[in-house]
């Protein structure tokens, strides 16, 4: 596996960072996960824009311009064996004596790696998956794609302990998102999505799904979703770069609607696959 660390490409076994890296000591950094299909990054410009927003929010200067990021991602994709990949990129504030306040003038640590991207199979999407509902006890800047993911990891592990793929989160009686995905619900034929705020990550897949809903004239509303609406929904889906549009068919062991994936989710899943295929066939652009 080829990775990139601070200016060099190398096998992952050779990559080393200091124990004083603020990513290691404080979780002081941000990241992105960019899906790549047939060796072509999907929505790269949008991922780089979200990266910029995360960097701005933590007062860290972007070490590279868009052209350089595009080149680095391209070289990681070319240097690894899979046609479909997740490209992971992470920037931390760099190495310094331990002190909470951000030191000035550090050289950020820049790291990229890739793994094979295996989206849920068509059978999984037809069958649906199980989730639990938990209180969202994370901080109130979940819009930042921070590498400090302990809350998300605790929540996802609680779901895994119960044989579930996701923990769907509620705060003050309203749906926020899930431990590593956004959440949509369908109620009487209308798709409901929580609005972007400091309490959810602005998902790239979330945006694609909203575009699909708009273009296909599927009734939808972006507005706060009550926990009671989540629990009485006809359909629930989670969306992310790696999970695409995955129907949730049980919540806390109880069936969602009839306990089978519903027609609106099936349609959006099909349109998402069509959209992906169309984008991948289009002429390459920077």
Give me the residues that bind ligand PDD (CB under 6 A), please. Answer: 33, 152, 177, 180-182, 201, 203-206, 239-242
For residue 284, the minimal CB distance to ligand PDD (Å) is: 21
Burial letters for 45-61: b for 16+ Cβ neighbours within 10 Å, e otherwise? eebbebbeebbeebebe
Give the Cα-Cα-Cα angle 196, 198, 204 (nearest 5 degrees): 45
Cβ distance to ligand PDD smaller for residue 96 or 180: 180
Q: In the complex, what is the shortest distance from the CB of residue 19 to ligand PDD, in angstroms, rounded to a whole number?
A: 24
**Pairwise CA distance, residues 63 & 45, whole Å:** 16
Asked if 247 and 255 count as a contact pair (C-beta separation under 8 A), the reply is: no
Cβ proximity to ligand PDD: between 69 and 206 the closer is 206
Cα 206 from Cα 155, distance rounded (Å): 21
Q: Of residues 16, 107, 145, 267, which has the active-site annotation?
A: 145
CB of 217 to ligand PDD, least distance (A): 23
Catalytic residue flag (residue 104): no
As measured in angstroms, the least distance from the Cβ of 224 to ligand PDD is: 17
What 3-state class would DSSP assign to 108? coil
Q: CB nearer to ligand PDD: give 80 or 239.
A: 239
Instruction: Identify which of residues 201 and 246 has a Cβ nearer to ligand PDD in the complex.
Output: 201
CA 59, 47, 84 angle in degrees (round to 5)? Answer: 140
The length of the chain is: 286
Question: 132-144 b/e with 16+ CB inside 10 Å = b?
Answer: bbbebebeeebbb
**Residues 239/193, Cβ–Cβ less than 8 Å:** no
**Cβ closest to ligand PDD, residue 44 vs residue 95:** 44
Q: Work out how close the CB of 99 gets to ligand PDD at its nearest, in angstroms, rounded to a whole number.
A: 28
Return the active site residues. 145
């Amino acid at each position: 596996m080829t990775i990139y660390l601070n200016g060099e490409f190398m096998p992952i076994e050779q990559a080393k960072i200091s124990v004083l890296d603020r990513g290691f000591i404080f979780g002081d950094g941000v990241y992105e996960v960019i899906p790549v299909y047939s060796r072509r990054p999907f929505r790269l410009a949008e991922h780089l824009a979200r990266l910029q927003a995360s960097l701005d929010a933590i007062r860290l200067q972007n070490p590279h311009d868009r052209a350089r990021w595009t080149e680095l991602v391209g070289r990681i994709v070319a240097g690894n064996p899979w046609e479909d990949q997740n490209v992971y990129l992470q920037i931390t504030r760099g190495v310094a004596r331990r002190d909470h306040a951000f030191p000035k003038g550090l050289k950020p640590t820049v790291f990229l790696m890739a793994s094979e991207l295996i989206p849920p199979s068509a059978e999984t999407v037809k069958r649906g998956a199980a989730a639990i509902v938990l209180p969202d006890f994370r901080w109130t800047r979940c819009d930042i794609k921070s590498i400090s993911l302990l809350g998300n990891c605790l929540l996802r592990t609680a779901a895994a302990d119960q044989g579930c793929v996701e923990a769907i989160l509620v705060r003050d009686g309203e749906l926020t998102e899930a431990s590593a995905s956004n959440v949509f619900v369908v109620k009487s034929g209308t798709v409901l999505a929580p609005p972007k705020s400091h309490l959810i990550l602005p998902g790239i897949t979330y945006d694609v799904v909203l575009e699909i809903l708009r273009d296909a004239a599927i009734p939808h509303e972006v507005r706060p979703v009550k926990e009671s609406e989540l629990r009485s929904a006809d359909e629930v889906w989670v969306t992310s770069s790696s999970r695409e549009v995955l129907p949730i068919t049980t919540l806390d062991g109880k069936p969602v609607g009839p306990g089978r994936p519903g027609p609106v989710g099936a349609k959006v899943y099909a349109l998402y696959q069509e959209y992906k295929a169309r984008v991948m066939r289009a002429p390459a652009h920077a």
